[in-house]
């Protein structure tokens, strides 16, 4: 393989400046939404006593899950020794950290009392999966930073064993991080839509897919900006193959999740709610998650594999956008739809009270919630852009190296 060379993001076209300006404005709007909810309280949001995790949590969990998957390209190059992916390893690492920062920032700002984060970081209840995730998230940033250092330090480069060891550590940690995120829901046995061991592998498969989609879109943007073909035909084909495999894996675990619950009589209520009677949640599940987020992009990718030239990478870009839209729909149905369905306080009994027990909770996202959640994506992109401006994370000519 040719000697790898990397470059900083030195050029700034009008299109790139416009895109960056949009992200800066979106971030400012998100901060304004945070101060608005901080001043007036969460009563101005769509959240209530039944729906305590709202739209910001949808974006936050989506970004955290995608962050783990964004590291997939680096893992393939270091752990599985696929040298064709090595030019993208640095970009993969910094994108993973950026997405995690964006997701965690939304979570912190939606706490209502973000200054009390210090309490969460210094006082632990290890019977809670949330306490575990404090270590998983901070550990991920530290380990990926060390992994990036091993890619860029001259001494480590001359000793490939160091980079491979750090690659394995990052690979194992990212699986633990996504398992922990999925287990937040899998361990909540009081919620019929959540409880289940399948939540961990479902989140891992989803992380692969959404992280790859972000990577493809960033690579395309950087190709335009640097006037360098960062995705030659053989890598477009490779990324297309990975996207098809990951999408099929998400579809498989989604089907397995619902078939398992349909088999058990106690879960027929929640399954009817999500699959048939849930209104907006049913629509988002079938139209957003399944059709737009999985089946349509899979069809686009399969057609694109038979094409050559610009049509092939265009189908990959279109499918990546659809995967991300489907990912947001999936998280919305899972997080908010799972809370909307009433809790079973006394299984086998009918419960009614003035506190809406046994009643499907209502929720309408407010503009501040949407702005705060979307600003997490903008923050992640701004962090990634600044990192690429300051340090050589982008491949320079190496993408065309013989695989």
Tell me the pLDDT tens digit for each residue of 49-69. 889 999 999 999 999 999 999
177-208: pLDDT as tens digits: 999 999 989 888 878 889 888 999 999 999 99
The ranges assigned to domains in the chain are 6-342+373-400
pLDDT at 255: 96
Average pLDDT of the chain, as a whole number: 88
Q: How close are the terminal C-alpha atoms of the chain, in Å?
A: 7
332-358 burial, b for 16+ CB within 10 Å, e for fewer? bbbbbbbbbbbebeeeeeeeeeeeeee
Query: What are the DSSP calls for 255-318, one per residue?
Result: HHHHHHHHHSGGGHHHHHIIIII-THHHHIIIIIIIIIIIIHHHHHHHHHTT--THHHHHHHHH
Are 207 and 68 in contact by the 8 Å Cβ rule? The answer is: yes
CA separation for the pair 46, 268 (Å, rounded): 28
The arithmetic mean of pLDDT across residues 40-44, rounded, is 89
Are 223 and 231 in contact by the 8 Å Cβ rule? The answer is: yes
Per-residue pLDDT at 79 exceeds 90: no
pLDDT at 399: 47
CA distances from 216 to 221, 378, 389 (A): 9, 17, 19
Are 211 and 74 in contact by the 8 Å Cβ rule? The answer is: no
pLDDT at 319: 95
Are 394 and 388 in contact by the 8 Å Cβ rule? The answer is: yes
Are 183 and 171 in contact by the 8 Å Cβ rule? The answer is: no
Domain 6-342+373-400, what fold? Answer: Formate dehydrogenase/DMSO reductase fold (1.20.1630)
- Cα atoms in the Cβ-side hemisphere of radius 13 Å centred on 3: 3
Structure tokens at 141: 């940033």
pLDDT at 173: 94
Q: How far is CA 144 from the centre of its chain?
A: 16
pLDDT at 271: 92
Out of 43-47, 224-228, 385-389, pick the least confident.
224-228
Per-residue pLDDT at 311 exceeds 60: no
Q: pLDDT category, 398, cuts 50, 70, 90?
A: very low
Per-residue pLDDT at 158 exceeds 70: no
Q: What percent of the chain has pLDDT over 90?
A: 55
Q: What is the DSSP letter of 194?
A: T
Per-residue pLDDT at 372 exceeds 70: yes
Q: pLDDT category, 156, cuts 50, 70, 90?
A: low
List, in order, residues 6 or more apart from 379 with CB less than 8 Å away: 23, 27, 30, 101, 102, 105
Q: Among 152, 133, 155, which Cα is nearest to 144's?
A: 152
List, in order, residues 6 or more apart from 197 with CB less than 8 Å away: 186
pLDDT at 122: 77
Structure tokens at 43: 């009563």
Q: pLDDT category, 403, cuts 50, 70, 90?
A: very low
* CA quadruple 331, 332, 333, 339: dihedral, nearest 10: 110
Q: Among 20, 140, 46, 41, which Cα is nearest to 361's?
A: 46
Q: pLDDT category, 123, cuts 50, 70, 90?
A: confident
Per-residue pLDDT at 282 exceeds 90: yes
């Amino acid at each position: 393989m040719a000697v790898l060379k990397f470059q900083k993001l030195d050029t700034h076209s009008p299109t790139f400046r416009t895109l960056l300006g949009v992200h800066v404005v979106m971030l400012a709007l998100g901060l304004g939404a945070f101060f608005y909810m901080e001043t007036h309280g969460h009563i101005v949001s769509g959240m209530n006593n039944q729906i305590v995790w709202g739209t910001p949590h949808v974006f936050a969990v989506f970004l955290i899950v995608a962050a783990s998957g964004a590291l997939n390209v680096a893992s393939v190059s270091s752990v599985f020794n696929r040298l064709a992916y090595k030019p993208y390893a640095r970009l993969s690492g910094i994108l993973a950290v950026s997405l995690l920062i964006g997701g965690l920032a939304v979570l912190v700002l939606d706490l209502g009392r973000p200054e009390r984060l210090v309490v969460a970081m210094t006082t632990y209840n290890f019977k809670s999966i949330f306490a575990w995730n404090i270590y998983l998230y901070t550990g991920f940033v530290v380990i990926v930073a060390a992994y990036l250092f091993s890619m860029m330090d001259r001494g480590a480069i001359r000793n490939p064993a160091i980079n491979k060891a750090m690659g394995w550590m990052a690979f194992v940690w990212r699986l633990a991080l996504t398992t922990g995120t999925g287990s937040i829901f899998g361990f909540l046995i009081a919620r019929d839509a959540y409880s289940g061991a399948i939540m961990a592998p479902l989140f891992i498969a989803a992380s692969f897919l959404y992280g790859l989609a972000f990577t493809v879109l960033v690579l395309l943007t950087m190709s335009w900006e640097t006037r360098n073909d960062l995705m030659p035909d053989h890598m477009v084909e490779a990324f297309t193959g990975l996207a098809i495999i990951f999408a099929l894996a998400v579809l498989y675990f989604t089907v397995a999740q619902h078939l398992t619950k349909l088999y058990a009589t106690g879960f027929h209520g929640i399954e009817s709610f999500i699959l048939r009677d849930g209104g907006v949640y049913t629509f988002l599940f079938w139209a957003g998650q399944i059709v737009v987020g999985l089946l349509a992009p899979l069809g686009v990718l399969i057609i694109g594999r038979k094409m050559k030239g610009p049509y092939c990478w265009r189908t990959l870009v279109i499918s990546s956008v659809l995967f991300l839209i489907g990912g947001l729909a999936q998280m919305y149905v899972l997080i908010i739809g799972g809370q909307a369905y009433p809790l079973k306080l006394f299984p086998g009994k009918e419960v009614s009270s003035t506190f809406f027990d046994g009643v499907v909770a209502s929720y309408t996202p407010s503009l501040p919630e949407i702005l705060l959640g979307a600003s997490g994506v903008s923050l992640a992109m701004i962090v990634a852009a600044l990192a690429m401006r300051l340090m050589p994370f982008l491949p320079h000519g190496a993408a065309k190296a013989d695989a």
